Amino acid sequence: MLTVTPYDDLSAQLTGRVVTPSDPDWDAVRGAFNMRADLRPSAVVLPREVEDVVAAVNYARSRGLRVAPQATGHNALPLGSLDDTLLVDVRELQDVAIDAAAQRVRVGAGVKWELVAPRLSELGLAALHGSSPDVGVAGYSLGGGMGWLARKYGLQTNSVTAIELVTADGEPRRVDATHEPDLFWALRGGNGNYGVVTALEFTVYPLEELYAGVMFFPFERASEVLHTWAELTPTLPDEMMSWASLLQFPDAPFVPEPVRGGSFAVVYGAYLGSESDGRGLVRPVRDLGPAMDTFAMVPPAALGPMAMDPPDPLPFESTTAMLTDLPSGGVDDLVAAVGPESGSPLALVELRQLGGALAHRSPGAGARATLPGTISLLALGVAPDEPSAATARGYLDALDRAVRPYHAGDYPNFVERQSDASAFFDADTWARLREVKALYDPSDVFKGNHHIPPAD
């Protein structure tokens, strides 16, 4: 006898697949980067082409299901319950087309930065990717995208020139500054709330080489390193992006041999200029006498692995905040909370300098035009079980308390918890995002990682 499963009628319309809880690869397919996310959608759809996405959206709408679009699952925790929801996972949309002369790239929505950045580098070009080659272009770009060149060129979302998507009515659309500009505006910051994106086009920038690298100091020197970095950053030009981190590396193969298993205070830099100018800019940090110093003139491909982010899924607890500034007393409080004498097991406490182009709305910018504050904080603790999660949470809470006086806002791509997304936008932007949502998705079919409901 033929058994009919609930999604057979959808499967029959697809070149790709529908994966349900009864399939052997269900757990592999529904797994997210943060292994503390336990995604339980009704089914996962893996489209191979735009028509598959159209079929999935029409199917969901006609049966009263919601649709959560996803590319790599790097920001899955905020999604929350996926009851009565199809997870439309675009991982198989893997086209990459580079038009070097036009400085323009078009990618399928499942493409990760690791597939784009090295190829661009060979052509003397750089994209505005972030710290991890494993992150998807789609979610990164739709939520903002703050990377190594951000102080010079701003958020990646505002270098996006066109977006192809399937909206709630099942229509494939291509939107840009002149075609459905309101939707184009909302998508650039509104993440997955407006449709399933199938492809993105964006501008890339000429760059043969830059002065970049990392200085490692013993963890015990965290206080003087962070003080020096915090005093230095206000003097740096927009051509320099600098981060300072407290890193407690696991003894894992993805960590470069010399630092594997060690704990460090580190300062990163990426400078769009000459070696001699770059050396002058980072001199106050170098004068502290790093134990290891990798700064050199490098091609932009070197920025991909520079932050040593984990390439594989792991369970973690995290916190984040954008800070107005971090005065000397703030550095002291941060070091007391999570520095070498605190007993902190946090794998990462990362400060990134903001400002420059991140502080200015560029002409034609989308809903996420800028980031507030002058410093971004992101911290995480690995949490393979509940006791380690509770320990990490305790240190993250202490860190939150230490920086609370300087809280300027949040950057949703870094927020790994369910949140009220209205807090991520000013009142006018939030109202406009809701109006555009009401126009294109009045029944609230699409569930972005940070939810934007339609206007009433």
Ligand X SMILES: Cc1cc2nc3c(=O)[nH]c(=O)nc-3n(C[C@H](O)[C@H](O)[C@H](O)COP(=O)(O)OP(=O)(O)OC[C@H]3O[C@@H](n4cnc5c(N)ncnc54)[C@H](O)[C@@H]3O)c2cc1C
Q: Contact with ligand X (CB under 6 A): which of 33, 184, 395, 424? A: 33
Provide, rounded to whole angstroms, the least separation between the CB of residue 328 and ligand X. Answer: 27
Number of residues that bind ligand X (CB under 6 A): 35
Query: CB under 6 A: which stretch of 5-13, 71-79, 116-124, 422-430 binds ligand X?
Result: 71-79
Least distance between ligand X and beta carbon 79 (Å): 6
- Nearest by Cα to 317 from 2, 16, 35: 35
DSSP state of 291: S
Angstrom distance (rounded) from CA 278 to CA 213: 11
Kind plus residue range of the DSSP H or E element containing 395: helix 386-403
Binding flag, residue 90, ligand X (CB under 6 A): yes
Amino acid, res. 265: A
147 binds ligand X (CB under 6 A): yes
Q: Give the closest residue to 382 by CA, choosing from 317, 452, 440, 304.
A: 317
DSSP 182: H
3 state DSSP class of 1: coil
Evaluate the CA torsion angle 52, 25, 79, 149 in order and state its sign: negative
The answer to whether 242 contacts ligand X (rule: CB under 6 A) is no
> Residue 169 interacts with ligand X (CB under 6 A)?
no
Position 449 contacts ligand X (CB under 6 A): yes
Of 384, 385, 357, residue with least CA distance to 371: 357
DSSP 8-state secondary structure symbol assigned to residue 34: B
Piece of the chain touching ligand X by CB under 6 A; list 19-27, 67-75, 168-176, 293-301: 67-75
Q: How far apart are CA 161 and CA 111, in angstroms?
A: 17
The minimum distance between CB 84 and ligand X, in angstroms, equals 17
- Reduced to 3 states (helix: H, G, I; strand: E, B; else coil), residue 453 is coil
Residues in CB range of 142: below 8 A, 6 or more apart: 157, 187, 188, 189, 190, 191, 192, 197
Of 69-77, 256-264, 283-291, 435-443, the window that binds ligand X (rule: CB under 6 A) is 69-77
Decide if residue 143 touches ligand X (CB under 6 A).
yes
Stretch that binds ligand X, among 63-71, 250-258, 395-403, 421-429 (CB under 6 A): 63-71
Q: In terms of CB distance, is 108 or 333 closer to ligand X?
A: 108
Query: Binding segment for ligand X among 59-67, 128-136, 381-389, 425-433 (CB under 6 A)?
Result: 128-136
**Does the footprint of ligand X cover residue 145 (CB under 6 A)?**
yes
Query: Measured in whole angstroms, how far is the alpha carbon of residue 444 from the centre of its chain?
Result: 24
Q: Work out whether 215 is an interface residue with ligand X (CB under 6 A).
A: no
Is 366 a binding residue for ligand X by CB under 6 A? The answer is no
Q: How far is CA 421 from CA 137, 180, 184, 298, 320, in A?
A: 21, 24, 19, 39, 15
Contacts to ligand X from residues 261-280, by CB under 6 A: none
Separation between Cα atoms, residue 36 and residue 77, nearest integer Å: 7
Question: Which C-beta is closer to ligand X: that of 129 or that of 232?
Answer: 129
Query: Of 85, 121, 132, 374, which lies in the binding site for ligand X, with binding defined by CB under 6 A?
Result: 132
The size of the chain, in residues, is 456
Strands (E), 76-159: 85-89, 96-99, 104-108, 125-126
- Per CB under 6 A, 16 contacts ligand X: no
Query: Does residue 133 touch ligand X according to CB under 6 A?
Result: no
Rule CB under 6 A: say whether 189 interacts with ligand X: no
Q: Per CB under 6 A, does 108 bind ligand X?
A: no
Candidates 145-153, 208-216, 287-295, 329-337: pick the segment binding ligand X (CB under 6 A): 145-153
- For ligand X, the closer of residues 135 and 335 by Cβ is 135
Rounded to 5 degrees, what angle do the CA atoms 149, 154, 156 make? Answer: 85
Does residue 249 touch ligand X according to CB under 6 A?
no
Among 146, 321, 323, 348, binds ligand X (CB under 6 A): 146
The answer to whether 70 and 89 are in contact (CB under 8 A) is yes
Q: Which of 41, 47, 108, 130 binds ligand X (CB under 6 A)?
A: 130
Return residues touching ligand X (CB under 6 A): 33, 69-76, 79, 90, 109, 130-132, 135-136, 138-140, 142-147, 191-192, 196-197, 309, 413-414, 448-449
